[in-house]
Chain A
Amino acid sequence: MIAEFNEIVLLSLQVTGIALFFSTLIGIPVGVAMGMARFPGRKLVVALLYTGMGFPPVVVGLFVYLLLSRSGPLGSLGLSWMAQLFTPGAMIIAQTVISFPLVAGFTMAAVMGVDPAVRQQVMALGATSRQAALTILSEARIGVIVSIIAGFGGIISEVGAVMLVGGNIEGRTRVLTTAIVLETRKGNFDLALALGGVLLGITFIANLAMLRLQGKSFDR
């Protein structure tokens, strides 16, 4: 029982952690570029990004399911390294797709919130374009941390997509949210509540850690 419980908690942290890592890795540079660059069609791209921020996770799960299923565009290729349906890999893909627009969208908003005159000043002090982008990112750091918190919140508590692509298989793809659904259906409310408490605790601790990352800027 305890071993199973630990396994569920560990898998939840693994899947969410890896998905958040990838969505941050892609989302922050995309958000910075979208916040700073001006190009034809930018409005359309921003609209798509905002749409992605509100995308229902279960629909993302459906798309990933169809992509990875044996008759789908990726599943039919038979690539050995490609994540298979009903594995943690498929869950990581779905959660990355869910959190990426949240991280990129909030980062973009944070970067756009930095006074454009800061960039001009930084360039006047001799920055290269890359140095200017990193400085703007640093100035927008509170908003960037918020983007990561939003991405994390969007996937740690998500149930629809992981249920669809993971299948809630005991010992393989069962995570906290899917376990709560299952235990509630079985009438094991004590266990469901305990799992819910653990989920809340993890979320609280993760957010506290990210607040620490924001550093002293948060208090000013």
Chain B
Amino acid sequence: MTTAATPLNQNIYQVRNLVQTYENRRVLEIEALDILAGEVLALVGPSGAGKSTLLRLLNFLEAPTQGRIIYQGSEFNTSGDMSLEKRRSVTTVFQRPMLLERTVYENVAFGLRLRGQRDSKDRIAAALEEVGLANIARQRARTLSGGEAQRVALARAMVLEPDVLLLDEPTANLDPYNVGLIEAIARRLNQNHGTTLVLVTHNVFQAHRLADRVCFLLEGKLIETGPVQEFFDQPRDPRTHAFVNGEMVY
């Protein structure tokens, strides 16, 4: 857990001079960004701002073109190396749940099986209970509705008790009921377990509801970072002001 690995409110991530380029196109360029253990950080910005790219880098899924990320004291750089133990303390719930062709229970158990933890029935049952899907544990995962599938994806991540949970537009295209459920689960996870949450969203209302701090990205660059209230009430950069007020044309 976060509290054991990195004390709350200390830097769990330090991003420095990070550049990501795809086929000579620079999609991300961040000079400095610190993420605190136990906080909820929202990354907001229009489509193509580099939010999901940053999330993949924070989950060590791809190596940066330049720069480094210090995570719990270990450096992740262009070599793409990060210890399995550290890698397994971070996980992501993507916009598409990407459930496997198995039952709901087996999907939730999947990450634990990867770690060789086969005797975790109680944890899996508790996670399914938490997302309100204990009654359909034996159902094939691919028969679920979009909201149910995303809740399974969340349970699959939660059961791993990660230090950091990355959420990539987890409620996009979901109905208000499921949005509310997922937000409540995320909030509980942060408050009860101290899990650091990094949430990618282009829904400023969601960022306002969930986040402690907000980062605004535009065209791959970090424009502004600040505490949630300050970010929405007194944005320093005119581009942030335009985005927050829905006036930005992109």
Contacts and interface: CB of A to CB of B under 8 A. Distances in A.
A3 interface: no
B142 A123 contact: no
A125 B61 contact: no
B62 to A, nearest CB: 9
A121 interface: yes
A139 B98 contact: no
A117 interface: yes
Interface stretch (B88-96, B190-198, B220-228): B88-96
Contacts of B101: 138-139, 217
A38 interface: no
Given A117-B96, A118-B100, A125 B84 contact: no
A121 B100 CA distance: 10
Contacts of A112: none
B243 to A, nearest CB: 28
Interface in B129-185: 140, 142, 156-157, 160, 166
B92 A124 contact: yes
A216 to B, nearest CB: 8
A220 interface: yes
Interface-central residue, B87, B94, B114, by most chain A CB under 10 Å: B114
Q: What does DSSP make chain A's interface, helix, strand, loop or mixed?
A: helix
A125 B160 contact: yes
Contact of B98 (A115, A126, A128): A115
Interface in A113-158: 115, 117-118, 120-121, 123-128, 131, 135, 138-139
A139 B94 CA distance: 19
A126 B160 contact: yes
A105 B164 CA distance: 40
A134 to B, nearest CB: 10
Contact of B94 (A121, A126, A138, A217): A121
A126 B87 contact: yes
Contacts of A125: 91, 110-111, 114, 156-157, 160
Interface-central residue, A115, A120, A121, A124, by most chain B CB under 10 Å: A124
Nearest to A115: B98
A91 B184 CA distance: 65
B100 A124 contact: no
Contact of B91 (A115, A117, A118, A124): A124
Nearest to B101: A139
B98 A131 contact: no
A120 B52 CA distance: 13
A157 B94 CA distance: 47
Contact of A127 (B56, B59, B96, B114): B114
B25 interface: no
Nearest to A140: B101
Contacts of A120: 56, 61, 94, 98
| Nearest 8 pairs of A and B residues by beta carbon | A126-B88, A121-B98, A125-B111, A124-B92, A127-B114, A124-B59, A117-B98, A126-B114
Given A120-B56, A125-B111, 4 more contacts: A117-B96, A121-B94, A121-B98, A126-B160
22 contacts: A115-B98, A117-B98, A118-B98, A120-B61, A120-B98, A121-B92, A124-B59, A124-B61, A125-B91, A125-B114, A126-B84, A126-B88, A126-B91, A126-B111, A126-B114, A126-B115, A126-B160, A127-B114, A128-B84, A138-B101, A217-B101, A220-B140
